[in-house]
Structure 1
Amino acid sequence: MSETPVVILTGAGRGIGHASLIHLLSLPNPPNILAVSRDTAALEELAKSHDNLEVVALDFSAPYSELKAKIPSDVVNVAIEKWGRIDALLLNHAILDPVAKIGDSRLESWDLVYRVNLFSNVELIKAALPELRKAKGRVVMVSSAATSIAFTGWSAYGSSKAALNHLAFTLAHEEPDVTSVSIAPGIVDTDMQKDIRQGHGKVMTSQEHAMFMGFKENGILISPESVGAALGNMCLNLEKEFSGKYLQWDDESLSSYANASIAAC
């Protein structure tokens, strides 16, 4: 069995997840990485030049029966068979759509958001837990400030991320050997922000939409590379004292992870 840590990284095809992947690959002692994404074309090209990168295509919006079959077999077991261990999960995949007021929403759309943002994470954690216990590993869940701020039309997304925070809290309580944390990444310059500016103004209030437009126009958005590096460092080295907490990525207590290029341990 390899001594090199093994990280399963979801949502690795773009945005924060891709930035985390690039950071991990660039470390002096990089981990082995199983990168999971719905679209894997760019990742497969990257894997050609990195022996420590394995790529798996999986759509987390798939029906429950498919997720229950594919997450253990096509994700967790692939990592174990290739490297013999799992040390960390960096759970980054999520969707914001469909954005709709509660009075206009459909139960089916809530089911979709929760399947992607919450239930698929539960299944992935469950499947990986035996290995995470052995490794005294880490689970880093990417949350959102929308868990505590209301935006018109975001009820499904915000509540699913709030549930993710509680998942990290409960996992830390139930699995004391596994360090579990949820991290809000701030307002990051990703496709999600582009979609908010271009597509969701019809649902959000004019003031809310103007605020998000201003984030881009005034250069307030955070770079994916900054957040991705911090999350990558956390999944390799986060200390037990943070387990069960929900924190902003740039919280002062996490400054060593945000500012340092931490080699895999």
Structure 2
Amino acid sequence: MNAVRKFIVAMLVVLGLGIVFFIGYFVKSNANLKHDARNNTECKTNERVFDYADKLSDSEEETLRGEIAELEDKVGMDFVVVTMDQYTDLSEYDADAVSYDIESNTKDIAEKICDYYRFGWEEWPAGTYLDGRDASTSVVIVANWQENDGYVYLCTAGKAKKRISDSKATSITEYGGKILRSDTLGAFERMMSRTETAMKSSTGGLKFLSPFICFLVSLGAAIAFCIVNLSKKAGKDTTTASTYSDGNAKELDRRDIFIRKEVTSVTIQSSSGDSGGSGGGGGHGGGGSHF
């Protein structure tokens, strides 16, 4: 088999791997989105849109409710949107709308709303978080319009906490926050779309690449492989055994000389604890950004 044929075979192998990644994307995505029917009997409301700051029109609220219902059924989690400002009465949730620290305040409000209504797809499992129960699978987004600032926070719980890392939650709010003031409905739709994509992954650390990107990467790798190796073959060997020797060199001595012995010991500390990132169960995770 000549060199060109070898390179063609190598390119086909790499492209084949790209096709495998392409198929694996859909298989893994569908597997991660499989879920049982909703069985949370503790949730106190069917409402998913709390437009306290009146940032959405009536028709936009209805549109958003319909899109949320589709997302919940597809992903298997409760999804809630809240708008508020400094005039919003949050006494029902034992929270205050006005605070000098908008970031921690918005985070606290999102968690309290989730806990108050007991949002979640499944029954809240036994645990140690709230009244002996761990939070169930849900996402609560609170967009906080203060007088001179704005902050949007995405609160995660249950499986959503495991699959959407805190850094990923922050990037989702940044993406939606770019248009939150000019197109509030569009901003929430952006965050919903990114949330759905994140829920397709098993972990929340890396962005789940689209199959098209995987295919392009594989194709690029195959082309680069061929170019590099063909260019190597283009050059011919210019040195031989006689280039640096006249053939009369003799081996005068053959010995192995032991210079010194050096031993380095390293103590490895072990721990039975788990230092992993966000996981399911427990309380809440999440991230936010200013807008």
Normalising by the residue count of structure 1, what TM-score does the alignment of the two structures yield? 0.28
Max Rg structure:
2
Normalising by the residue count of structure 2, what TM-score does the alignment of the two structures yield? 0.26
Q: Name the structure where helix makes up a greater proportion of residues.
A: 1
